[in-house]
A and B are shown apart, each in its own frame.
Chain A
Amino acid sequence: MSDGNMNLKLKVWRQKNTKDAGQMVDYSLEGVSPDMSFLEMMDMLNEKLVNEGQDSIAFDHDCREGICGMCSMMINGQAHGPKDLTTTCQLHMRSFKDGDTVVVEPWRARAFPVMKDLMVDRSAFDQIIAAGGFVNVNTGNAPDGNAIPISKENADLAMDAAACIGCAACVASCKNASAMLFVSAKISQLALLPQGEVEGEERVRSMVSKMDELGFGNCTNEAECEASCPKGISISNIARMNRQYFTSAIKAK
């Protein structure tokens, strides 16, 4: 456990609503403990603002243990801040030094309008999943869980892809605001499993076309998405998706 509280300067994006132009606002915060999480530091700032009678800063957060994918901040220009494989809620203030200036901004992408301050609308991701990110099987219609053996290797690879938390750091970090890492993770998970393979070609076509329709950009292989992903989703999923997409496009009726 480390001692020694810090004083920080914060530059935080404030924007009243989607239509407001928005601006950076400077704050200072004293007595920040290195053991606090980044969001607890934001709570502390909000408590201070409330006590001064000001409107608190809106930001998305929920589980605060790195799994729900709700938290979403650009911290000093990096999605989820400076630590690898870490969501904002799991980033601790010991990653900063006394006297640091910390810049906090929302995810920025055409498909994710800012709703207030640091909150953005990521419902485009739900729309992509609704376009095909599922297996068409109704409740009650399932064979025994062991009826179809699945190789451990494929089950593990599917799980690697399924670990995506849908936070959208990949989109925020990409200069093209491409959603390909997110989309390919779901496509890969289902393509690697016999249950999902059945509808694989139809799925890849409809999810990719929904992704394009919603205004996400294309992939130009810079791998910023992979570098910023708090769950380590690999860009090899994008390659798998592209392969499947081309095959499916050639075969399309």
Chain B
Amino acid sequence: MTIKKLDGKIPDGPVDQKWNQHRFNMKLINPSNKRKFKVIVVGTGLAGASAAATLAELGYQVDAFCISDSPRRAHSIAAQGGINAAKNYPNDGDSVWRLFYDTVKGGDFRAREANVYRLAQVSNSIIDQCVAQGVPFAREYGGTLSNRSFGGAQVSRTFYARGQTGQQLLLGAYSAMMKEVHKNRIKVFTRREMVELVVIDGKARGIIARNIITGELEKHSADAVLLCTGGYGNVFFLSTNAMASNSSAAWKAYKKGAYFGNPCFTQIHPTCIPVHGENQSKLTLMSESLRNDGRVWVPKAQGDKRPPNEIPDDERDYYLERVYPSFGNLAPRDVSSRQAKYAVDQGRGVGKSGYAVYLDFRDAIKRDGQKAIADRYGNLFDMYQQITAENPYEVPMRIYPAVHYTMGGLWVDYNLMSSVPGLFVLGEANFSDHGANRLGASALMQGLADGYFVIPYTLGNYFATEKPEKTPVTTEHPEFEQALKSSASRFEQLFAVNGKRSVDSFHKELGHIMWEYVGMARDEEGLKKAIGLIQNLRKEFWKDVRVTGSDVGVNLELEKANRVADFIELGELMARDALERKESCGGHFRVESQTEDNEALRDDENFCHVAAWEFQSVDTAPLRHIEELKFENVHLSQRSYK
């Protein structure tokens, strides 16, 4: 097989005209014909809920699938900080162009310009839509919307609803969805997990879903399938993702021919509460707004175990301020995370485990008073105290980086369609808009942009062009029967192993391998080692995993086993991708490719492209295709935060 150069189907014309022109060029479906088309939406987070609601409003029949007991639980709900838009309400020089520019640069030049421009363009409509739905954004005394600055941006473009912006936006999208449920245009299937994609004559025509309550496998057919299933940070076992967040739907699609784009691009967030022990199940993020006032430090001496308040100033190393005098404690996420790792690797980590650094508010409290700090961060300080039983007004917080977001995901073209016709991928589940590093307050923007304002147009064009209604399929089609059988046999196999080790023990071991070798700093030797270790782990999993209970009714062990089996395979692909990308960019740091000052060094000559992996078989190495990236508006430059 030869390596393909993929076509992102980016429309012609100047970047600021592409989307307008494309919308005009796309074919439409007559309103009364829309009801003849059925769309399956898998996942009901920001991307899935907004897509389901909007498509139903247009008249399509929508079947929405969600893994939890209600669409309102999706992990978009946990986003704290806010959502960006180029409204320029504060009159501080923002514009669509600047949001576009910041996002391309922030992504370290590994995203498509055309996609990012479109994202910036529709950002304003998202805010309007959410306000109209009754999302209670923060307001000024005059009654207008409030903005704050976020994630190193030099303008205030972030809209927020206290520290619960993700919750409010998700509940807005959920209510829009329930409004269509009320009108019988959306059917919601809760507590379902997609376990197979059904492809007929080369097109996505349905899914096999597992009913988590009964254990039954169900066949669902449609004219198109939308995957809105989020990211795969839980490959690392410990991450800020929710417990049920998983990669299995995307992984099944990958095995059915959807290419996986840039799987190694992982975002490691610098300010999380450190791990307390082996029984830890997940990590909790502390909003990075804390870095506006907190100072990050470690002791200068190795192994200094004195309580922090007994360490005098001249024996502290405020390393971010030292290394990045102009950005200081506000250096971007990837840079700050890596510096924390260096400090810990040097034996200067703090706390019982040594895997933490201090985030100290002593000076801010001295300067502004405890009340001012409590007004700004009270809820975060309370949350920290609840988890650690330490009072951050008196002793510095301990923080450490944690896996937070995956920029990689299924490869999609400009229309959000994967390499399987009829399979569209939205939100974090696709690879498209954030390049190698996502900026703060951009995830919510992308999820809603894809669902409210992109897919309603591009899906209609697909239907109008491909005419799936002319080749109707039902669940009686032999491909459905085949897919159902192969899913059933997979679950049987998981029981049949009947080994000695729990599912979680495998997941934790995978997490350790990933964190050690495919985490914040990666090198050739470590990545090769990781691939070997993961392959062995996969073999051991299928020899020794123990799934208790039965396949009838609720069985959490069986659910987890199915997901962990996929995580193991995806972990291997992430290591392969990281190994092949012999440059550093954004969140992907290759030790071999760094500047004299230990910063990420891109190699634009050889790697200014998206890597899109094509599945062969579990035991055969996948093929690495590429999509070349062209930068015609934002010129390639080295990021510098000094």
Contacts and interface: CB of A to CB of B under 8 A. Distances in A.
Interface of A: 1-2, 16-17, 33, 35-37, 39-40, 43-44, 46-47, 49-51, 53-56, 58, 60-70, 86, 90, 92, 94, 115-117, 119, 121-123, 125-126, 129-146, 148-152, 155-156, 158-159, 162-163, 165-166, 189-190, 193, 195-196
Nearest to B175: A134
Nearest to B553: A17
A135 B135 CA distance: 10
A68 B145 contact: no
Contacts of A51: 502, 546
Contact of A137 (B133, B178, B244, B280): B133
A65 B284 contact: yes
Interface residues of B, number: 86
Interface stretch (B162-170, B323-331, B419-427, B588-596): B162-170
B53 A139 contact: yes
Contacts of A163: 162, 164, 167
Contacts of B242: 62-64, 68
Given A36-B276, A126-B188, A152-B143, A1 B54 contact: no
Contacts of A190: 134
Contact of B553 (A16, A47, A189, A195): A16
Contacts of B179: 130, 134-136
Contacts of B87: 145
A141 B125 CA distance: 10
Nearest to A157: B136
B320 interface: no
B57 A139 contact: yes
Interface string B166-183: 011001001110110110
Given A139-B176, A145-B131, A122 B390 contact: no
5 shortest A-B CB distances, which residue pairs? A149-B143, A142-B132, A134-B175, A142-B128, A155-B139
B132 A195 contact: yes
Interface stretch (B70-78, B296-304, B484-492, B572-580): B70-78
A241 to B, nearest CB: 16
Contact of A64 (B133, B282, B553): B282
29 contacts: A35-B389, A40-B280, A46-B556, A56-B549, A60-B69, A63-B73, A64-B242, A67-B78, A70-B69, A90-B383, A94-B389, A122-B69, A126-B70, A126-B71, A130-B181, A134-B134, A139-B54, A139-B453, A139-B456, A140-B452, A144-B128, A145-B130, A145-B137, A146-B144, A148-B131, A156-B136, A162-B168, A163-B167, A195-B131
B502 A50 contact: yes
Contacts of B549: 55-56
B554 A140 contact: no
Interface in B168-205: 168, 171, 174-176, 178-179, 181-182, 188, 190
Contact of B132 (A63, A121, A137, A152): A137
Contacts of A193: 134, 136
A130 B184 CA distance: 10
A43 B279 contact: yes
B178 A133 contact: yes
A252 to B, nearest CB: 19
**Most chain B CB inside 10 Å of its own CB: which residue of A53, A67, A122, A166:** A67
Contacts of B3: none
B277 interface: yes
A64 B238 CA distance: 12
B525 interface: no
B504 A43 contact: yes
A145 B383 CA distance: 31
A162 B70 contact: no
Contacts of A138: 54, 57
Contacts of A33: 276-277, 279
B188 A1 contact: no
Interface string B224-247: 000000000000000010111000
Q: Which of A36, A63, A144, A196 has the most CB of B within 10 A?
A: A63
B386 A86 contact: yes
B619 interface: no
B134 A68 contact: no
B493 to A, nearest CB: 18
A145 B279 contact: no
B244 A135 contact: no
A135 B131 CA distance: 10
Given A33-B276, A92-B389, A149-B143, A162 B73 contact: no
Contact of B175 (A58, A65, A129, A139): A129
A135 B388 CA distance: 40
Interface in B545-580: 546, 548-550, 553-557
Given A43-B504, A63-B243, A135-B134, 14 more contacts: A39-B281, A50-B503, A51-B502, A65-B240, A65-B285, A68-B242, A121-B69, A122-B69, A140-B129, A142-B131, A145-B127, A145-B131, A145-B137, A152-B143
